[in-house]
Amino acid sequence: MKKALISGITGQDGSFLAEFLLQKGYEVHGILRRSSSFNTGRIEHLYFDEWVRDMKQKRTINLHYGDMTDSSSLIRIIQQVQPDEIYNLAAQSHVKVSFDVPEYTAETDAIGTLRMLEAVRILGLEKKTRIYQASTSELFGKVQEVPQKETTPFYPRSPYGVAKQYGFWITKNYRESYGMFAVNGILFNHESERRGETFVTRKITLAAARIAQGFQDKLYLGNLDARRDWGYAKDYVECMWLILQHDTPEDFVIATGEMHTVREFATLAFKETGIELRWEGEGVNEKGIDSQTGKVLVEVDPKYFRPSEVEQLLGDPTKAKTLLGWNPQQTSFEELVHIMAEHDMKFVRKLHLRSKED
């Protein structure tokens, strides 16, 4: 039985990847960081019985306390687990927040990656343990070429992007220097019903659900014209695994090859909840007031603008399609919005019922 160690197991991707690897028959270990509040919401079904029974799984996940800023914890965990595969997903992953905590972002996302690679080397596991590094389309930042592929030059636009660029290169450097199977998945945005609530897609689907059910009046957003290549997280974790199963250690771009604006995402998400969202020039005046309803449902708040913005990202997944046999169009943009909006309509209703019972 293969052993996998996931850093960032409590995050969106970590939780889907843990499910995926358990189903593949792996012994799954995860690094959990100490938090004063509950941070295992996305994986609790994996160590309580419900999912395990439903999926006829014999095993649950194994959690170890550690932190990307603490080498000693990484060395101890890797020594104990002796993993065949490490998925390094842990990161301060919010681009806007990285402008507020640039040093911590570098510690976790850049030096944290170095700590993980060094831990494997110190323990003499260079030839045993394969390492997946969670790289990102934010490396392309101010785009030099459309669509972006493995050979497109980098131009990061945030402390997050710059830290991840270090993570990318140090992974490649350890591969070239020490012959390690250490590889980068350059993943474009991927979303889901488990997405953190301050990323734009989830912020929109949650707000649309609250507005539709009368618990919120208005949604404040930043740059409505930003364009992203949005995929479904569940499809993308399969690709992380495929990258580590490939014969040779190589870096891959993972994307859908389709791009949409924040405005388009919002229009579709609101439609899913039964609200027709109209924009300036479509019966909405310059103050955002809809002439039919007399309401302002979406307002731009400059506080959500970034000091330097990534205006558009569009990936070319040809290499992953050809060499890994991965299908980038498993879940369409419309299906993704539907999954998220449907989930949040139920989620908001349940939360409201629970608060009434309390």
Query: 288 contacts which partner out of ligand NDP, ligand GDR, none, CB within 5 to 8 A by kind?
Result: none
78 vs 90 by CB, closer to ligand NDP: 90
Binding site for ligand NDP (CB under 6 A): 7-8, 10-14, 31, 33, 35, 39, 67-69, 89-93, 108, 134, 136, 187, 189-190, 196
Q: How far is the CB of 218 from ligand NDP (least distance, A)?
A: 26
From CA 338, how far away is CA 343, in angstroms rounded? 8
Q: What is the DSSP string of 293-312?
A: T----EEE-GGG--SS---B
Specify the residue, 188 or 333, whose C-beta has the smaller distance to ligand GDR: 188
DSSP E strands, 33-105: 62-65, 85-88
Tokens 């260079």 belong to which residue? 126
- Residue 69 site contact among ligand NDP, ligand GDR, none (CB < 5 to 8 Å, cut-off depends on kind): ligand NDP
Q: Which does 12 bind (CB under 5 to 8 A by kind): ligand NDP, ligand GDR, none?
A: ligand NDP
CB of 270 to ligand GDR, least distance (A): 15
CB 251 within 8 A of CB 135: yes
Half-sphere exposure of 287 (CA within 13 A, CB side): 5
- The residue nearest ligand NDP at its CB is 11
**Minimum CB distance to ligand NDP smaller for 14 or for 273:** 14
- For the annotated catalytic residues, the residue numbers are 136, 138, 160
Residues 6+ apart with CB under 8 A from 65: 31, 32, 33, 34, 73
Decide which of ligand GDR, ligand NDP, none touches 200; Cβ closer than 5 to 8 Å per partner kind.
ligand GDR
- Find, among 218, 213, 246, the residue nearest to 326 by Cα: 246
CB nearer ligand GDR, residue 185 or residue 249:
185
CA atoms of 176 and 174, how far apart (whole Å): 5
- Residue 254 corresponds to which tokens in the numbers above? 């993972």
